[in-house]
Amino acid sequence: MQHSSLEIVTVDSKAHNKAFLNLPYDLYRADSAWRAPLRMERREHLSPTKNPTLNVIRDQKFLAYRAGKCVGRIAAFLNQAHRDIYQDNAGHFGFFDCENNPETGAALLLAAEHWLNSQKVSKIIGPSQWSVNEETGLLIDGFDCPPVVMMPYGRDYYPDYLSAAGYGKATDMYAYQADLYAGYPRPRQTQMMVKLAEQDKRVSFRKVNMKNFTGEVAMAMTIFNDAWSENWGFIPFTDDQIDHMAKSMKPLINPDLFLIGEIDGDPAAFITMIPDVNSAAHGLNGHLFPFGFAKLLYRLKFKGVTQARIPLMGLRKHWHNKRQGIGLIAQLCETVFANARANGFNHCELSWILEDNQSMIRICEQASAQRYKTYRMYEKVL
């Protein structure tokens, strides 16, 4: 596919795969807000033998070259789990990064659309990196703030490229930033909910059991799958994905920051907060070797990272809008914030949160968190 000096090529070799992986590190290197993720983690994310999500993915990746230099990338893919649930004959795109040139953006999007057309798809949705359970959405505001761990990065011209190509909004997702020392004393309603939970003998919470970490994560994800099942684009985590998540998360977990809430002795809610690995890895350009691993370990364990993120939390649907459930969530949030302060954190991102999830938005607001980034999912009829 040729456009003046621009060439779009399919990724079909080791060299192409390496270029696909490396492009963001070259493209964003000079951006002050860019935080390079660990290359080893990104490599595994793209590997069918390492990432179990790819068990249900059929994809084609593309690269853009201009005068022999790689200047853009995109992936088009079919997520069979999404198609089975929603029966919408939709395909997806993701990994959209490119130079500041409308021709490049348009050509990459067109390449993804043409491939999906060849798969008899009637709609394209994106961007996401394989599913909504991984990096999802196109940043449309908050470009001056660095992305925290497992959140996308992008440039402010990308939304224009999507609009020019005929894409419309599917939904927006918010990221909130909480100053862990701000907003005290809490609003009376929050204090009342926490007090109700403390006084209710049916309600309790505990730290995660690290000796049975895989089992604890599996239990938490059954709560998550139930809690979020009616949300836009939801795809439940599979057993393979849960096992992979447990192995990936364990080195980052402080049991003070992974809490399980119970009602009548049964697990009903959970919350987990992790350190922002992006902050710890800043300046390493994604490399762990030869000295990056030592620096990362020192920053995480000794120097301390002060930014955290809550990527996962949930309350079983049975307890939504019930006194015990509301009180338990308030208690978990306030406890994990207090524990985070005791462990040296002063800020925490709560993300991502759908624009119509009013209960979660209220929780963020009651915690004095400020909405500071918006990520948009787009769609287009093919």
Query: Residues 9-65: pLDDT tens digits?
Result: 999 999 999 999 999 999 999 999 999 998 989 999 999 999 999 999 999 999 999
Does the structure show a pLDDT above 50 at 323?
A: yes
Q: Averaged over 352-373, what is the pLDDT?
A: 93
Cβ atoms of 75 and 94 within 8 Å: the answer is: yes
Q: What's the farthest any 2 CA atoms get from each other in the chain? A: 71
Residue 372 CA to residue 89 CA, distance in Å, equals 34
Does the structure show a pLDDT above 80 at 287?
A: no
Residues 313 and 187 in one domain: yes
Residues 37 and 183 in one domain: no
Question: Among 138, 155, 174, where does a domain finish?
Answer: 174
Residues 189 and 168 in one domain: no
Q: 176 versus 251: which is more confidently predicted? A: 176
Residues 71 and 126 in one domain: yes
Residues 214 and 359 in one domain: yes
What's the pLDDT score for residue 283?
81
Q: Average per-residue pLDDT in the chain? A: 93
> Which CA distances in Å does 107 have to 115, 147, 380?
12, 27, 16
Residues 143 and 243 in one domain: no
Question: Among 156, 174, 192, where does a domain finish?
Answer: 174
Q: 251 versus 370: which is more confidently predicted? A: 370
Residues 99 and 114 in one domain: yes
Give residue 292's pLDDT band: very low, low, confident or very high (50, 70, 90): low
Q: Averaged over 124-143, what is the pLDDT?
A: 96
Does the structure show a pLDDT above 60 at 2?
A: no
Give residue 1's pLDDT band: very low, low, confident or very high (50, 70, 90): very low
Kindly state the percentage of the chain with pLDDT values over 90.
Answer: 87
Residues 202 and 288 in one domain: yes
Residues 212 and 100 in one domain: no
What's the pLDDT score for residue 83?
95
Give residue 289's pLDDT band: very low, low, confident or very high (50, 70, 90): low
Give residue 238's pLDDT band: very low, low, confident or very high (50, 70, 90): very high
Domain that holds residue 369: 178-374
Question: Among 154, 174, 194, where does a domain finish?
Answer: 174
> Tokens standing for 191?
């204090």
Answer whether residue 381 is part of any domain. no
What's the pLDDT score for residue 293?
60
Burial of 269 (0-12, 13-18, 19+ CB in 10 A): buried
Answer whether residue 342 is part of any domain. yes
Amino acid at the residue 203: V
Residue 97 CA to residue 74 CA, distance in Å, equals 7
Q: Structural domain tally of the chain?
A: 2
Q: Averaged over 149-177, what is the pLDDT?
A: 97
